[in-house]
Amino acid sequence: MKSAIVGCGGISRVHAQVLSDADYTELVACADIRPERARERADKFGGRPYTDYLEMLDREKPDVLHICTPHSLHVPMALEALRRGVNVFMEKPAAISDEQFDQLLAAARESSAKVGVCFQNRFNPTTKAMRRLLAEGDSGQALGARAFVTWKREAPYYTESGWRGSLETEGGSALINQSIHTMDLLVHLLGTPVSVEATASNRHLVGVIETEDTLEACITFEGGARALFYATTAYAEDAPVLVEIVCEGRTIRFEGDELTVRGKDGSRRVETLQNVAAIGKSYWGSGHSACIGSFYASLRGEEEYPIGVEAVEKTMRLVFATYRSAREGRAIAL
């Protein structure tokens, strides 16, 4: 197979590294509107540089396009690839609005090509272990959960990017950019969200960005479990993500790569689950290689990729409902 990347910013290096190390595809091209960034990626990882991704698609005819561009471009670029019968593997978020997601969903259903979304943290060892423990009879019903993403982003992260911090191009910040993976894990672990009530604010970047740097939400899931969600980029460091789920029989928690299980009898078991080194920043998780590999295995017909457009709809609708709740100051039913 042949692969191409559009968008040669920071996250593209992870994709390029995985593809250049893989024996199942060849990276044939990289595109970016900044020619020096496209050349840098191509020189290091292989392929030809382009400044126009449509020219790249038409000349190179790749089997897969990896979309690593600013958020607002994910859906328009995916639609162009799908029109050409090119499979799409896209970075989060899958869209920045309900309307965009509707477009993507319709195009994916109509196309013979496949679309995969990069929610790589579903492949983390801690996520897999927690999902397995929740399915065991000893856990019983999930009663509630809490999730914390406390990271650090200063003004240059936004002002030097050319697109972050803008509602039009980023669609939000602390939620849709930094903590969307964690909200996705809550959906992945707890099931269908039915309502959300949220607030969003700017704690330390007033006058720098028009998006939020802090967001908190109360999410209710089918079955009655209530999850408390908190995300900020105003912390002093990029702390490990924490997710904890309280069940009838035990409490299961991960913080970074450490999994803790507390029984109702007072027992406590702690394990460190990290079997693959992270590519890129450690707090991004270690699932990129497995996530991308699974998508390519699905193209070869060896397995079903579990994170297609329909599989992320609950997460994306929850993200959009959370923002709507914060804007309107009321609970939103999904």
pTM of the model: 0.95
pLDDT at 287: 85
The residue out of 120, 143, 158 marking a domain boundary is 120
Predicted confidence (pLDDT) per residue in 208-255, tens digit: 999 999 999 999 999 999 999 999 999 999 999 999 999 999 999 999
Residue 285 has pLDDT above 90, yes or no: no
Are residues 146 and 254 located together in one domain of the fold?
yes
Task: Tell me the mean pLDDT in the region 303-309.
Answer: 97
The residue out of 55, 90, 120 marking a domain boundary is 120
Are residues 168 and 153 located together in one domain of the fold?
yes
Q: For position 54, which CATH number holds?
A: 3.40.50.720
Q: Please check whether residue 32 lies inside any domain of the structure.
A: yes
Are residues 200 and 317 located together in one domain of the fold?
yes
Predicted confidence (pLDDT) per residue in 16-39, tens digit: 999 999 999 999 999 999 999 999
Are residues 116 and 152 located together in one domain of the fold?
no
Are residues 12 and 97 located together in one domain of the fold?
yes
Task: Tell me the mean pLDDT in the region 172-192.
Answer: 98
Are residues 115 and 137 located together in one domain of the fold?
no
Which of 46, 39, 55, 54 is closest to 19 using CA atoms? Answer: 46
Residues counted in the chain: 334
Strand order in the sheet with 226-232: 268-272, 258-263, 250-255, 242-247, 142-150, 226-232, 214-221, 193-201, 332-333
258-263 and 268-272 beta bridge pairing: antiparallel
Q: Please check whether residue 289 lies inside any domain of the structure.
A: no
Are residues 56 and 135 located together in one domain of the fold?
no
The residue out of 120, 154, 186 marking a domain boundary is 120
pLDDT at 307: 98
Q: For position 265, which CATH number holds?
A: 3.30.360.10
The overall average pLDDT reported for the chain is 95
Q: What is the DSSP string of 141-197?
A: SEEEEEEEEE-B--HHHHHTTSSTT-TTTTS-SIIIIIIHHHHHHHHHHH--EEEEE
Q: Please check whether residue 153 lies inside any domain of the structure.
A: yes
Predicted confidence (pLDDT) per residue in 65-122, tens digit: 999 999 999 999 999 999 999 999 999 999 999 999 999 999 999 999 999 999 999 9
Are residues 265 and 328 located together in one domain of the fold?
yes
Task: Tell me the mean pLDDT in the region 295-318.
Answer: 98
For 328, the domain range is 125-269+306-333
Q: Please check whether residue 277 lies inside any domain of the structure.
A: no
Number of domains into which the chain is organized: 2
Determine what percent of the chain is predicted with pLDDT higher than 70: 96
Are residues 320 and 179 located together in one domain of the fold?
yes
Task: Tell me the mean pLDDT in the region 184-194.
Answer: 98
Task: Tell me the mean pLDDT in the region 148-154.
Answer: 98
Are residues 316 and 203 located together in one domain of the fold?
yes
Are residues 235 and 256 located together in one domain of the fold?
yes
pLDDT at 276: 59
